[in-house]
Amino acid sequence: MKNQKKPDISAFFPCYNEEANVGALALKTASVLKKLAGKWEVIAVNDGSKDRTASVVKALSKKDKRIRLVDHVVNQGYGAAVKSGFRAARHEWIFFTDGDGQFDVEEMAKMVPLLATNDLVVGYRIKRADPMQRKLNAFAWGMLVKVLFWFWKSRDIDCAFKFVRRSVFEKYHLETTGAMISTELLVKAHKNGFRITEIGVNHYPRRAGVQTGAKLSVIARAFKELFMYAAKWYTQGFK
Ligand SMILES: Nc1nc2c(ncn2[C@@H]2O[C@H](COP(=O)(O)OP(=O)(O)O)[C@@H](O)[C@H]2O)c(=O)[nH]1
Ligand SMILES: [Mg+2]
């Protein structure tokens, strides 16, 4: 990293009812980016939360304009929030993680030196801190995606700890609105020949708030989008 210019980084997190987590996460991300980045910003995407997620972020934003709130009035889904984060981001490198703080943003430090020679630098969970059922679901989903798109390189598709170079989106855009978004991001990157590197990161249990990622409605929506968009992309291209 010495002699190398620090990258400009926009970091965002999708949040649904994360009032107990988002404040500490935003402040910690800001302090990490102060060290690692040139220009930086932190964006919390509040996806129609029913709690005080938005007001927590607004209060921080008043003190530091580099902390920003993107607000969905109505809940639109994880993928929709991720797309809003990418759209709102202003800098060359866009990083996202979950708003519940299950990852440690300090670990961005080991990814930053790899940015110059990659288009995506993404995490895989060294030891996933989730119940067995959740891990089995993820394994089955991963196998399905690998076979369907003939994409065998990813160790952990849904790991919410990813850096993406903004110019990637000149080649393709994101269309899905649910939990399928991480699959779409990586599969399209792979099909378009972008350089992807994976790095192991730690994963911690959720300390506050309620998990919704394992809800049946979330899984059903992901499957529906998977088959709908697989048909579209195979006929019209991964763009
Ligand atoms: N935008 C958006 N984010 C959500 C929604 N549900 C969960 N999230 C966020 O997505 C992240 C992961 O959700 P979580 O329930 O912790 O799932 P898990 O960690 O995969 O088990 C967290 O930051 C949540 O706040 C939703 O409906 N919309
Ligand atoms: Mg979580």
Instruction: State the Cα–Cα distance between residues 87 and 81, nearest whole angstrom.
Output: 10
Measured between alpha carbons, how far is 238 from 234 in angstroms, rounded to an integer?
7
Per-residue model confidence as pLDDT tens digits over 130-162: 989 889 999 999 999 999 999 998 999 999 999
Ligand nearest to the CA of 211: 1
CB of 102 within 6 A of ligand 1: the answer is yes
| Count of H-run helices and E-run strands, the chain | 6, 7
Cα separation, 230 vs 146, whole angstroms: 12
d(CA 155, CA 124): 6
Ligand 1 contact via 137 beta carbon (within 6 Å): no
For tokens 């996933």, name the residue. 128
Which residue in the block uniquely carries the two structure tokens 């065998």?
A: 152
The C-alpha atoms of residue 114 and residue 199 are separated, in whole angstroms, by 10
- Which residue, judged by its Cα, is nearest atom 19 of ligand 1? 213
* Ligand 2 centroid distance, CA of 109 (Å): 21
Ligand 2 centroid to Cα of residue 104, in Å, is 12
* Residue 24, amino acid: A
Among protein residues, the one with the nearest Cα to ligand 1's atom 16 is 211
Tens-digit pLDDT profile for residues 165-203: 999 999 999 999 999 999 999 999 999 999 999 999 999
Amino acid at 181: I
Is the Cβ atom of 7 under 6 angstroms away from ligand 1?
Answer: no
Instruction: Find the range with the poorest average confidence among 7-16, 74-83, 209-218, 220-229.
Output: 209-218
Task: Report the separation in Å between the CA atom of 160 and the middle of ligand 2, taken as the mean of its atom positions.
Answer: 9
pTM, two decimals, is 0.95
Tell me if 212 CB under 6 Å of ligand 1.
yes
Angle between helices 181-191 and 216-236 (to 10 degrees): 20
